[in-house]
Amino acid sequence: MNDINRYFNQINSQLNKAYEISNNAKKKGYDPKDFVEVPIVQTISQRVENLLNIEYPMILNCGIKERIHELEQNIQKLDLEIALIIAKEIAQEKFCKFNNKEQAILAGIRFGFAYLTLGIISAPLEGLINIEINTDKSTNSNFLTLNYAGPIRAAGGTAGAFSVIIADYLRKEFNINSYTPKQNEIMRTITEINDYNTKITNLQYLPENKQIETILKNIGVKISGPATETVEVTNYKNIEGIKTNKIRGGMCLILCECIAQKSNKINRTIEKLKDKYDLKNWEFTKEIKKLKENSSTNQSKLFSQMVAGRPVVCFPKTRGGLRLRYGRSRVSGFASCSLNPLTIKVLDNFIATGTQLRLDFPGKATIITQCDSIEGPIVKLKSNEVKKINNIKDFTKHKDDIIEIIHLGDILVSVGEFVENNYPLQPNGYCNEEWAIELVAKINQKEYLK
């Protein structure tokens, strides 16, 4: 421990020395600013404050860091609840004053959003570009519009979706009415999302039309944004309330890769907070989950979105494909799975450490590493002998005689991968650990001890 402390103290000492030299150089007046503009920060709250200080200089050292630290003493760090509380207090101008209500609400949303993204990406500023409090002429009621741009992608699906939840929460706190989209707006959005997926880039998750409609009718706010592409939508142009006929990438990303894709995780989070923070309208994510489960096109979507020329290692739930094995090696974990090295050899080294594979579950993709303690491949030889490849000597001896791979072997996936993606655990292959548990249970039965 003393060595570790000495190591970090040395790093801090050298960093402070470098800053001192840089500040002395800045004071000579050859740069626009006479000080080093990137501050040293130690905590998430400091990073958040320094990130948003770019847009809101009035918030610097006004007590927000201390308030976040106080909340973290009683609520789990990085919990959505902290983001909701700090967003409300900032929007209520408890720490500093803003020019108007729109700026205050936007600052609150951005602070909550930045907290959830650790204050290390620009999405709260460049992804959520602004908000508007608009009026529906047909009902003479006000509503909240969130304008997103392409950089929202950097936030990730969960944080992006939570930014909308924060906005909806503040909408209610400031007595802004829920937004009800008209049918032509819904059809424009559905058309635009499908155009974005086919004409611009494949979405990580393309929701079905019914899912999109369910989201639009329940999130309480309007999702829009500036045109991010030069391509126009194929239909439903010149819709009142939508300022452009060109495709709005930020809107497509928020609805599809954030709210729709992460609906299961949103639902799990909302269950804990819905009563305390008036988020019951977000229970619609249960309906999205049911729509996903009842979808008959999930697998066809998986293959329709493949890039031409990319090979299929194995088909989902097919005999002889990769067999699920729960666990993790020293080099696997989140978005990283392991194969037996002999499986890689049998595949003629087409897969290597670091190869990215698309999966049908639990997440959308993974990086391959190697683990030699899981099951390897079973092959058929020219002699019609079925052989399990146990070691590199077996492979070297029989590699030229292999005519068929009967079974690829195990793929090692951590339970945390299922938890993070809110995907239900699937039946796994019978393995040594399961056998050992059953053996101990049998041994502990009295009739086996006689």
**DSSP state letters, 150-183:** GGGGGG-HHHHHHHHHHHHHHHHHTTPBPP---H
Contacts of 46 (CB under 8 A, 6+ apart): 39, 65, 119
Residue 298 has pLDDT above 60, yes or no: no
Other CB atoms closer than 10 Å to residue 424's CB: what's the count?
A: 9
> Among positive and negative, which fits the CA dihedral 99, 100, 106, 111?
positive
Residue 359 has pLDDT above 70, yes or no: yes
CA distance 163 to 48: 15
Residue with tokens 């292999």: 402
Give the model confidence (pLDDT) of 201-230 as tens digits. 988 889 999 999 999 999 999 999 999 999
CA distance 124 to 398: 57
| pLDDT score, position 415 | 92
Give me the amino acid identity at 375.
E
Closest CA to 222 of 144, 110, 132: 144
Closest CA to 387 of 368, 360, 369, 406: 406
CA distance 65 to 61: 8
Q: Is 322 helix (H, G, I), strand (E, B) or coil?
A: strand
35-44, 169-178, 381-390: which range is least confident on average? 35-44
E strand or H helix that includes residue 380: strand 378-381
Mean pLDDT value across the chain: 90
Residue with tokens 């194969």: 339
Q: What is the mean pLDDT of residues 297-315?
A: 69
Bridge partner residues of 326 (DSSP): 413
CA distance 159 to 124: 10
Length of the chain: 450
What are the two backbone dihedrals, phi and then psi, of residue 371, each rounded to the nearest 5 degrees? -145, 120
> Among positive and negative, which fits the CA dihedral 196, 198, 201, 202?
positive
Residue 200 has pLDDT above 80, yes or no: yes
Sheet holding 222-224, edge to edge: 128-136, 141-148, 222-224
Residue with tokens 């009718």: 217
41-45, 64-68, 272-276: which range is least confident on average? 41-45
Q: Residue 105: pLDDT band by 50, 70, 90 thresholds?
A: very high
Query: Could you tell me whether strands 336-339 and 365-370 are parallel, antiparallel, or unpaired per DSSP bridges?
Result: parallel
CA distance 188 to 193: 9
Q: How is the chain split into domains, by residue range?
A: 1-37, 38-294, 322-442
Q: What is the mean pLDDT of residues 21-50?
A: 88
Are the CB atoms for 363 and 331 separated by under 8 Å?
no
| pLDDT score, position 303 | 64
Q: Residue 449: pLDDT band by 50, 70, 90 thresholds?
A: low
CA distance 106 to 110: 6
| pLDDT score, position 143 | 96
E strand or H helix that includes residue 338: strand 336-339
Residue with tokens 């909408």: 171
Give the model confidence (pLDDT) of 82-104 as tens digits. 999 999 999 999 999 999 999 99
| pLDDT score, position 296 | 52
| pLDDT score, position 162 | 97
Instruction: Tell which CATH classification among 1.10.405, 2.60.40, 2.40.50, 2.40.40 matches the domain 322-442.
Output: 2.40.40
Are the CB atoms for 255 and 206 separated by under 8 Å?
no
Give me the amino acid identity at 39.
P
Q: What is the mean pLDDT of residues 397-403?
A: 92
Give me the amino acid identity at 174.
F
CA distance 206 to 256: 6
| pLDDT score, position 307 | 67
Query: Could you tell me whether strands 222-224 and 141-148 are parallel, antiparallel, or unpaired per DSSP bridges?
Result: parallel
Residue 297 has pLDDT above 70, yes or no: no
CA distance 311 to 447: 53
Give the model confidence (pLDDT) of 222-244 as tens digits. 999 999 999 999 999 999 999 99
| pLDDT score, position 293 | 75
| pLDDT score, position 224 | 97
CA distance 204 to 111: 27
133-142, 384-393, 416-425: which range is least confident on average? 416-425
E strand or H helix that includes residue 267: helix 263-273
Q: Residue 424: pLDDT band by 50, 70, 90 thresholds?
A: confident
| pLDDT score, position 302 | 64
Other CB atoms closer than 10 Å to residue 288's CB: what's the count?
A: 25
Contacts of 170 (CB under 8 A, 6+ apart): 87, 88, 91, 105, 108, 109
Are the CB atoms for 247 and 195 separated by under 8 Å?
yes
Are the CB atoms for 375 and 340 separated by under 8 Å?
yes
Q: What is the pTM of this model?
A: 0.76
